[in-house]
Each structure stands twice: as C-alpha cells, then as structure tokens.
C-alpha cells in the first residue's frame, strides 16, 4: 500500500526551474522568516552580554548567568515534557 502511494506521488512530481523556485512567493517568505530568526538569535547571542554590562553588572560570571536566561527559558519552552507530550 505504501509502495503504491509513493509510486503514485513519484509519477506526479515534476522538476521546476531554479529561477521559478527562487521567485516563488512562499519560498521568499520562508527565506525572510528564517533570516529574521537567525539575525535575532545573533543579536541576542552577541550583544546581550554587552547590554547587560552597560546596565552596571561588572562581574563576568553574573553577566554569563544573566545572558543564559533567554536560552534556559527556550530549553524549558521547547522541551516536550513541559507541555505534556511525554
């Protein structure tokens, strides 16, 4: 059954020219979304310690701990057991 379904899907597939793929609105929107996420991550990763230091925190260890808070929150948010999936 699965082999028949895969064969049927393979028969209907067709290759699109790369220009058509790259000018597709959906591809452009996904690319923009991915770029935005990556740039935001770089912003937090690279500049958050500098911003924390500018607030007056001088101890390097405390700056590191405070910089880790967003990433620790992400681990808790992404962990499937925290939302009852496991």
- What pLDDT digit, counting tens, does each position of 16-42 carry? 898 998 999 999 999 999 999 999 888
Band of the pLDDT at 13, cuts 50, 70, 90? confident
pTM (predicted TM-score): 0.57
Q: Domains in the chain: how many in total? A: 1
The pLDDT of residue 83: 62
Q: What is the mean pLDDT of residues 35-55?
A: 91
Please give, one letter per residue, the 3-state secondary structure of 55-81: CCCCCHHHHHHHHHHHHHHHHHHHCHH
Residue 70: closest CA among 14, 47, 22 = 47
| Structural domain range at position 59 | 2-83
Q: How far apart are CA 15 and CA 71, in angstroms?
A: 40
Q: What is the mean pLDDT of residues 54-59?
A: 94
């Amino acid at each position: 059954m699965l082999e028949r379904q895969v064969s049927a899907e393979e028969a209907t597939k067709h290759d699109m020219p790369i220009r058509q793929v790259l000018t597709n609105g959906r591809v452009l929107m996904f690319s923009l979304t991915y770029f935005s996420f990556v740039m935001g991550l770089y912003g937090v990763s690279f500049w958050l310690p500098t911003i924390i230091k500018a607030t007056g925190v001088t101890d390097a260890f405390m700056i590191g701990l405070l910089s880790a808070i967003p990433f620790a929150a992400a681990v808790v948010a992404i962990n499937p057991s925290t939302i009852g999936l496991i």
